[in-house]
């Protein structure tokens, strides 16, 4: 890729990430928490600086990049192609570092992609995390509730808990766990993940970030944009009062609120299935450009399911 072209793409990526994250960085500098957005950079443990680094993905020579600070970045090596010298992503380095995590996330994404979306959970995982708690036990203690604890408990008791995402289920209160229709654990995560789940879709951002230089920057940015959208819906459908952050509730305790939540889920399936396809394509490209298994001794990132 000519230097002018990749520099232009890099600058465009920087501008897009800055627009998306500037408010978060300003709040962090001021020590001001945000109950919605902070999650994307604390729970997922991916820094804005990491997201801001644009990568072309494997198989692309960045002309003259060896003369820039990029030469110090992980997973790049110098190469010359058609008389032009620069840096190129080293797929073997990415795979060696990612190892079992890349293999496992690929299996989860493939399994999720193969299923239809299930839209019957109504976002009640945040409610289950508050079931039969006191104010001192609330997860987001600095955020007021829009209902009483008694009302929250009644919504949980009168509803079917259908959570399919282990990393939400594991935060259920002990009394809420047996109320869930699915017995979830890390070992069976790939068996239950499905594309209408908000958190399964947000995880695409984390899965892409775990690829480091192996993931095209455009994919990481689009996955983060999607995660921003879903996280807002996630918390608006919770029992928390987010009015001081300018967010109106989606009252999933009502038929109208549940209809609004399901409508988002249906759009979410379309959006995230496209992201999953791009993620799997990026993984395929990473694997196809890596050294053969016989030469490297590594475990291939082969598809989990064939046929």
pLDDT digits (tens, 9 = 90+) for 271-291: 999 999 999 999 999 999 998
Interhelix angle 255-289/91-113, rounded to 10 degrees, is 140
In what side-by-side order are the strands of the sheet with 62-63? 62-63, 84-89, 76-81
Contact 252, 47 (CB under 8 A): no
d(CA 197, CA 57): 28
Range with lowest mean pLDDT among 94-98, 101-105, 137-141, 219-223: 137-141
Segment 90-97 shows an average pLDDT of 96
At residue 296 the predicted structure's pLDDT band, cuts being 50, 70 and 90, is: very low
pLDDT for residue 305: 39
Contact 189, 166 (CB under 8 A): yes
d(CA 142, CA 140): 6
Q: Whole-model pTM? A: 0.92
| CA 97 remoteness from chain centre | 20
HSE at residue 207, side-chain half, CA atoms within 13 A, is 28
pLDDT for residue 295: 40
> Which residues, listed in sequence order, are joined to residue 77 by a DSSP beta bridge?
88
Segment 170-180 shows an average pLDDT of 97
pLDDT for residue 105: 96
Residue 199: Cβ within 10 Å count = 21
pLDDT for residue 278: 98
**What is the pLDDT of the chain when averaged over all its residues?**
93
């Amino acid at each position: 890729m000519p230097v002018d072209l990749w520099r232009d793409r890099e600058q465009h990526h920087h501008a897009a990430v800055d627009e998306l994250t500037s408010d978060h960085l300003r709040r962090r500098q001021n020590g001001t928490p945000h109950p919605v957005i902070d999650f994307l950079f604390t729970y997922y443990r991916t820094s804005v600086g990491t997201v801001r680094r644009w990568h072309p993905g494997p198989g692309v020579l960045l002309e003259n990049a060896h003369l820039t600070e990029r030469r110090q970045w992980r997973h790049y090596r110098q190469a010359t192609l058609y008389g032009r010298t620069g840096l190129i992503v080293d797929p073997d380095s990415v795979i060696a570092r990612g190892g079992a995590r890349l293999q496992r996330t690929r299996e989860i994404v493939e399994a999720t992609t193969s299923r239809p979306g299930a839209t019957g959970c109504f976002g009640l995982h945040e409610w289950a995390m508050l079931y039969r708690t006191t104010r001192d036990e609330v997860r987001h203690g600095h955020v007021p509730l829009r209902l009483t604890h008694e009302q929250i408990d009644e919504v949980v008791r009168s509803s079917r808990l259908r959570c399919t995402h282990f990393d939400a289920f594991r935060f259920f209160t002990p009394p809420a766990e047996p109320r869930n229709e699915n017995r979830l654990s890390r070992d069976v995560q790939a068996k239950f993940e499905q594309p209408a789940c908000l958190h399964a879709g947000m995880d695409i951002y984390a899965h892409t970030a775990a690829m480091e230089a192996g993931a095209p920057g455009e994919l990481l940015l689009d996955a983060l944009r999607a995660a921003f959208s879903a996280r807002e819906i996630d918390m608006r459908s919770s029992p928390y009062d987010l009015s001081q952050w300018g967010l109106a509730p989606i009252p999933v305790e009502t038929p109208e609120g549940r209809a609004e939540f399901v409508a988002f889920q249906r759009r979410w399936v379309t959006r995230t299935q496209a992201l999953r396809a791009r993620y799997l394509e990026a993984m395929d490209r990473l694997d196809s450009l890596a050294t053969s298994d016989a030469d490297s001794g590594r475990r291939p990132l082969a598809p989990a399911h064939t046929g």
